[in-house]
Amino acid sequence: MLKGAGAVLLMLGSCGFALSICRERNRRLQLLKEMREMFRLLQNEICYTALPLPEILKLVGEKVNAPFGKALLLTAEHMRLENGEEFQTVWEEKMKEMLKETSLTAQQKQLLINFPECMGMNESTGQANALNRYIEELELMIAVQREEEKSKNKVIMSLGIAAGLFMVIILL
């Protein structure tokens, strides 16, 4: 009786572990989609409003989900204080704090941290075009992540079940 309960619990644990890995991969895909939405909103605000950058960040930060929305609002608030720091420095600091808690890859994190490079242009059309490049790169990352998720999630679940069965056989 105890061996049977232990075997069932062992199988449930290994399947649960595999499922948690799959969920983490799905969360990465959702973060990429939210990042794309954030850049689209920034692009629209830059193109169609003549607001200063802190105001644009505040508006977009209110529309975007956490963790990006929170980071945008903190960046906007810090820039409003006008303590002489450059946008790139403030952006990098706030985004690095926020990115500690995400499951994004190093390449995806670097794309987000490098965003201020496109804001160095003076005219809004140049900034919007540079943002378009970021959006296209995110589209590519999202497509790659989707394809990986389809194939790798099946493998991860299969290995989780197989590992559970293997451990049950060994322990029985």
**pLDDT level of residue 60 (50, 70, 90 thresholds):** very high
Report yes or no on 11 lying in a domain: no
Report yes or no on 62 lying in a domain: yes
Report yes or no on 26 lying in a domain: yes
Domain ranges, residue 81: 16-171
pLDDT tens, position by position, 139-149: 999 999 999 88
Report yes or no on 20 lying in a domain: yes
Residue 50 identity: A
Counting the structural domains of the chain, the total is 1
User: Over pLDDT 90: what percentage of the chain?
Assistant: 37
**More confidently predicted of 35 and 87:** 35
The mean pLDDT of 6-30, rounded to a whole number, is 92
